[in-house]
Amino acid sequence: MSYEHNLMAHQVSVRLLQDLRSSHAAWVNSELGPKTTLWQSMAFWPRPDIAFQDTSKNTALAFEFKPPNQPKREYVTGLGQTLTYLNDFQFSGLILPEVANDGFKIAAYISDMLSGFLSEMPVALLCYQDDPTQLKVLRKLQPRRDGPTSIPHGAGGRVFWGYWRDLSNYDLLTILGLMDAPRPITFAAAFVRYWKKFATTGKAQTWEGSKRKKKKNAARGKTGEMLNIELAMRHAGLLDSDDRLTEEGYELLHIGKVYGAGSVAFLERLARQVLTAGRHLELIFWVNEQERLISASRKGNARQFYRTLDLRLAKEGIISAPLLHAPKPTFFRDEPKLWNKLGLLAPVTPTRYFHSRHGLVFNWRKIISVMEGS
């Protein structure tokens, strides 16, 4: 997915969420209401472009968004993806332009399919001409007769983006290498070797390349770090459902072997995985928009800023309110740290990235370059 595709999908997501929360969504009946939020989890596969949930109604919906100027096949594929989402979500929807790149009226064609032999599918169909946020309803959401009866748990816990804790670029490459044995092993087996040969012997490394050492008898620390690293790798699309390396995991390993964990090539490939598979690009879009609405007086220091940002994100339905009562002072803590390590922020100094009275300053040139692979 390109940067433009993600940006357009985000813009549509903003519009749909605003309509749902203000009860102005013409495409929905009573399945989702004003308490709708973004889906507070993430999927390994299939991964919808947009997903919502309404805990007050115990319902969830996934949308597939298709950009303009694509061939007919791409939009028909989108219908297939939309139907696939019904395996996990109670409802789904497809958003596409009125015409394909050859002028064919693809939206009307798919609408006819949904009115015919697919008439019982609980699928909404929306289309647009030039502006993806100016949507026309071709088919309202239909009732569901069977299938999932609750909000899918997904793979992300209580957020829609990938988790990342306790894992540096150097240790990531080490673990990737351990998994690539003559007979490839699972993450669990590789982590045991990493813990014994690296973490507890002083051979593990920080992002800066400094050595670090864990206590050998720190059983709780071992369990916690194992879970943190597994979630980070899973959410970044580096591990599959069987805890083995994905194609993307092997690609990152190859880059690391050739150029090293501290290289620009390795960090940019990792950044792309975090932005796309880990959906951090979508989170960055939301944070960037919301922080513009925070007054300079609420950006005096990082802690004050993050607290205010939490409140705004919850108010807009981007995160769930219960997250505001977590043990840590603010919900956002590790995400900006990761973005800074990957060069996605414009820092004040190499270790300080919060700009007093401004907030976070994103390095959009770098983000777009990473997304486009250039």
Residue 45: which pLDDT band, with cuts at 50, 70 and 90? confident
Instruction: Judge whether 368 and 362 are in contact, CB under 8 Å.
Output: no
DSSP-derived pairing of the beta strands 37-38 and 50-54? antiparallel
Q: What is the pLDDT, as a whole number, of residue 154?
A: 86
CA distance 185 to 171: 17
Q: What is the pLDDT, as a whole number, of residue 249?
A: 97
Using the predicted structure, report yes or no on whether residue 233 has a pLDDT greater than 70.
yes
Q: Which two tokens mark 140?
A: 């309202």
Helices H, strands E: what count in the chain? 12, 8
- Please state which of the ranges 173-182, 330-339, 358-367 shows the lowest mean pLDDT: 330-339
Q: Which two tokens mark 112?
A: 């006819």
Using the predicted structure, report yes or no on whether residue 327 has a pLDDT greater than 80.
no
- Please state which of the ranges 15-24, 30-39, 329-338 shows the lowest mean pLDDT: 329-338
Q: What is the DSSP string of 186-253?
A: -HHHHHHHHIIIIITTT-EE-TTS-EE---TT-HHHHHHHHHHHHHHHHHTT-B-TTSSB-HHHHHHH
Instruction: Judge whether 192 and 225 are in contact, CB under 8 Å.
Output: no
Q: What is the pLDDT, as a whole number, of residue 26?
A: 92
Q: Could you tell me the sign of the dihedral formed by the alpha carbons of 61, 92, 105, 9, in that order?
A: positive
pLDDT digits (tens, 9 = 90+) for 252-291: 999 999 999 999 999 999 999 999 999 999 999 999 999 9
Residue 326: which pLDDT band, with cuts at 50, 70 and 90? low
DSSP-derived pairing of the beta strands 211-212 and 204-205? antiparallel
CA distance 171 to 228: 13
Domain ranges of the chain: 3-139, 169-276, 280-372
Using the predicted structure, report yes or no on whether residue 220 has a pLDDT greater than 70.
no
Helix or strand run (H / E) with residue 136: strand 136-139
Using the predicted structure, report yes or no on whether residue 219 has a pLDDT greater than 80.
no
Q: Decide: pTM greater than 0.85.
A: yes
Between residues 190 and 321, which one has the greater pLDDT?
190
Fold (topology level) of 3-139: Trna Endonuclease; Chain: A, domain 1 (3.40.1350)
Q: What is the pLDDT, as a whole number, of residue 359?
A: 96
Q: Nearest to residue 354, comparing CAs of 282, 303, 294?
A: 303
Percentage, residues of the chain above pLDDT 70: 95
Q: What is the pLDDT, as a whole number, of residue 221?
A: 73
Q: What is the pLDDT, as a whole number, of residue 320?
A: 77
Q: What is the pLDDT, as a whole number, of residue 351?
A: 84
The whole-number average pLDDT for the span 28-38 is 93
Residue 139: which pLDDT band, with cuts at 50, 70 and 90? very high
The whole-number average pLDDT for the span 320-331 is 64
Using the predicted structure, report yes or no on whether residue 324 has a pLDDT greater than 60.
no
Using the predicted structure, report yes or no on whether residue 323 has a pLDDT greater than 90.
no
3-state secondary structure 78-131: HHHHHHHHHHCCCEEEEEEECCCCCCCCHHHHHHHHHHCCCCCCCEEEEEECCC
DSSP state of 141: P
The whole-number average pLDDT for the span 46-53 is 95
CA distance 202 to 214: 7
Q: What is the pLDDT, as a whole number, of residue 13?
A: 98
Mean pLDDT over the full length of the chain: 93
The whole-number average pLDDT for the span 11-15 is 97
The whole-number average pLDDT for the span 99-104 is 98
Q: What is the pLDDT, as a whole number, of residue 184?
A: 84
Q: Tally the C-alpha atoms within 13 A of residue 129's C-alpha that lie toward its C-beta.
A: 0
Using the predicted structure, report yes or no on whether residue 331 has a pLDDT greater than 90.
no
- Please state which of the ranges 178-182, 211-215, 218-222, 266-270 shows the lowest mean pLDDT: 218-222
pLDDT digits (tens, 9 = 90+) for 148-198: 989 999 877 678 999 998 899 999 999 999 999 888 899 999 999 999 999
